[in-house]
Amino acid sequence: MTDTGRDLPQLYLVTPADPDRDGFADLLARALDAVPVACLRLSMATTDEDRILRAGDALREIAHARDVPLVIERHALMVERLGLDGVHLGDGARQVAKLRKTLGPDAIIGAFCGQSRHEGLSAGEAGADYIAFGPAGITALGDGAQAGHDLFAWWSEMVEVPVVAEGALDPDLLRALAPVVDFVALGDEIWGAADPLAALRRFAQALGPV
């Protein structure tokens, strides 16, 4: 996952909670062929090991065939077992230093830090490759807290670690955040749409011609 500058954020796709469902692998392949994607995150609601292994194997083949790195959410022990590129942590800085030692310097380690500058800084200092803040948009889920434009603007000015905006995004918000983020993570915004590929193209076009 490479930071190519904040003037044009890159897209980062997050799978739906059931990426092992029929038809998703084909949909994902078409999505990765449709627009440039910097990273793919395997995010599953299940804790069933066999399902995670099957999904990881299938998605790794699709992503790596297109030179897209694949990270897994939470299940760090699956990284080496599945031949993945890294892990996305949902609990800020808590596990970053330990996993950096375990997974080595080449693994991608990302940390979701909610709306906390302090947690983001701690995760960066511990060795995280990117920090994600969110939700960037307004949502009724959770406690209603939002990672606002000011947080991303401050981070982009003060910190070198790449920053990801995620949660409740729309193309207009993406345009507003584009100057102050490195990556934009899209999940339900894409897969929950009536036409996921059309939705993905709308987001990509918000960044410029595809």
Give a yes or no: residue 203 inside a domain: yes
pLDDT exceeds cutoff 90 at 208: no
Give a yes or no: residue 4 inside a domain: no
* pLDDT per residue as tens digits for the range 166-198: 999 999 999 999 999 999 999 999 999 999 999
pLDDT of residue 140: 77
Give a yes or no: residue 188 inside a domain: yes
Please indicate whether residue 140 or residue 27 has the higher confidence score (pLDDT): 27
Mean pLDDT of 85-91: 98
Domain extent, residue 24, equals 10-207
Indicate if the alpha-carbon torsion angle 43, 47, 52, 53 is positive or negative: positive
Q: b/e string for 97-115 if b means 16 or more Cβ within 10 A?
A: bebbeebeeebbbbbbbbe
Give a yes or no: residue 97 inside a domain: yes
Kindly give, in sequence order, each residue whose CB lies less than 8 Å from that of residue 149, ignoring residues fewer than 6 positions away.
176, 177, 180
Q: What is the pTM of this model?
A: 0.94
Per-residue confidence band for 129, with pLDDT thresholds at 50, 70 and 90? very high
Give a yes or no: residue 5 inside a domain: no
Give a yes or no: residue 2 inside a domain: no
How many domains in the chain? Answer: 1
Residue 171 maps to which CATH number?
Answer: 3.20.20.70
